[in-house]
Amino acid sequence: MTLTLTPLSGIPLIQSGDNLTDVILQACGFENLELANGDILVLAQKIVSKSEGRLVNLTTVIPSPEAETLAAATEKDPRLVALILRESKRVLRSRSGLIIAEHKLGFVCANAGIDHSNVSGEWGDHADWVLLLPENPDQSASNLRTALETKTGKKLGVMIIDSHGRAWRNGTVGVCIGLAGIPGLVDLRGEKDLFDYEMRVTEVGAADELAAAASLVMGQVAEGTPVVHVRGFPYELRESSLGELIRPKEKDLFR
């Protein structure tokens, strides 16, 4: 098996309303890369959020009393905390400088995925602008997949990724937050290993594995390569959703 990940160069700074389908196809042209059946496009969350107008200027946010209280406890900007609360189902843990929340999309992450880095708006102080996650990353991925398949005539997969920390290990890794046309989980139960032992519990988080690989290629700071082309994904493409990757609360031993 050969898995090839190619960062697409020539991606411009994305603005609200930009057509990501055209941007991606143009970038493929720069790389002399022709899309083929089974290829996958992995996008950084930031360019999806920016194209969908998910930028917010903190000067427009009025914190609630709850936000003010949590901001004082965590030493965070009350306006940012107000957005975290707005984007979350609940706050699970907090300490100085950090809020761990269950996002409305179902996963647990720091600060509800709201980001300051590589973000600027059209007016005011750049430091006042933050970026929210897409409202529905699965739908965003599906819309992009449909548009790409329509224009290319190929069967493709699309995934949107973000960087998340982990409870028991240091460092952030790329994880899938939205997908279309690729499996989230691959169920290996019933398969046999080299010694003829039948797998009983093994399910592979294939989308997250690919997200981590793509994130490594994209970089995390100022590389400017927010789209990665993938060829050779070892699992069959199929319909899926982020729900496959979210552990139900009743099976979560840590909440």
Residue 108's pLDDT is 93
Q: What is the mean pLDDT of residues 127-133?
A: 93
Q: What does the pLDDT look like over 94-126, one tens digit per residue? A: 999 999 999 999 999 999 999 887 788 788 888
Q: What does the pLDDT look like over 227-243, one tens digit per residue? A: 999 999 999 999 999 99
Q: String of b and e for 5-15 (b: at least 16 CB within 10 Å)?
A: bbbbeebeebe
In this structure, the strands spanning 203-204 and 186-187 are antiparallel
CA 223 to chain centre: 17
Residue 203's pLDDT is 78
List 228's β-bridge partners, or say none.
7, 42
Q: String of b and e for 210-242 (b: at least 16 CB within 10 Å)?
A: bbbbbbebbeeeeeebbbbbbeebeeebeebbb
3-class DSSP assignment, residue 122: coil
Residue 222's pLDDT is 47
Q: What does the pLDDT look like over 42-100, one tens digit per residue? A: 999 999 999 999 999 999 999 999 999 999 999 999 999 999 999 999 999 999 999 99
Ranges of H-type helices in 75-225: 78-87, 137-152, 206-218
Average pLDDT, the chain: 91
Is 221 a residue whose pLDDT tops 60? no
Residue 166's pLDDT is 86
Q: Which pair of structure tokens corresponds to residue 230?
A: 């993938």
Domains and CATH numbers, the chain: 4-53+134-245 (3.30.1330.100), 55-131 (3.90.1660.10)
Residue 25's pLDDT is 97
Residue 121's pLDDT is 79
Quote the pTM value: 0.92
